């Protein structure tokens, strides 16, 4: 497996553990709809969260969360619509991002709730 794919899988595992430790229920991972993929769909209380995970080895080219572009946001909205229809969800939703930076001696995890709409 390519190095960037291993990094992505490791970030996904860390993000899942992070969310579970904060009372979220993981409803789906790597949900696909058309051209879009949502990394994690989680629920906390009555809110469904569509979560994009971004990870990097350094901050040399900026923070990981700043790499979420307009196209990705559009695709997330499409996937969210599909998931809500499939699940007959009529509650609250939000779009979060989790930024994970792997430093040599530590890992930094930041959760941005309602990061993009």
pLDDT in tens, 60-84: 655 545 567 788 889 989 999 999 9
In a domain, 71, yes or no: yes
Residue 12 lies in a domain: yes
Using DSSP's 3-state secondary structure scheme, residue 70 falls into helix
For residue 20, the domain's CATH number is 3.40.1350.10
Do residues 23 and 44 make contact, with C-beta atoms less than 8 angstroms apart? yes
Residue 17 belongs to domain spanning:
3-112
Read off the pLDDT of each residue in 87-96 and give the average, rounded to a whole number.
94
Is 33 contained in some domain? yes
- The model's pLDDT over 12-71, given as tens digits with 9 standing for 90+, comes to 999 999 999 999 999 999 999 988 899 999 999 999 999 999 876 655 655 545 567 788
In a domain, 89, yes or no: yes
Secondary structure letter of residue 58 according to DSSP: -
> What is the strand order of the sheet 47-56 is part of?
25-33, 36-44, 47-56, 92-102, 107-112
Residues 93 and 17: their CA atoms lie apart, in Å, by: 21
Domain assignment present for 66: yes
Give the count of beta carbons closer than 10 Å to the beta carbon of residue 89.
15
Q: What is this structure's pTM?
A: 0.89
**Do the domain assignments include residue 45?**
yes
Three-class SS of residue 69? coil
Q: How many structural domains are present in the chain?
A: 1
Q: Is residue 69 part of a domain?
A: yes
Q: Does residue 70 form part of some domain? A: yes
Going by the DSSP 8-state scheme, the letter that residue 12 receives in this structure is: H
């Amino acid at each position: 497996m390519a190095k960037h794919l291993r990094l992505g899988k490791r970030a996904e595992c860390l993000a899942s553990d992070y969310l579970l430790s904060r009372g979220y229920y993981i409803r789906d991972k790597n949900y696909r709809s058309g051209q879009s993929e949502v990394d994690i769909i989680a629920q906390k209380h009555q809110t469904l969260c569509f979560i994009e995970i971004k990870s990097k080895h350094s901050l040399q080219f900026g923070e990981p969360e700043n790499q979420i572009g307009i196209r990705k946001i559009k695709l997330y909205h499409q996937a969210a619509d599909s998931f809500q229809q499939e699940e007959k969800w009529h509650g609250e939703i939000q779009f979060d991002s989790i930024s994970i930076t792997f430093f040599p001696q530590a890992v930094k995890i930041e959760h941005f709730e309602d990061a993009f709409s």
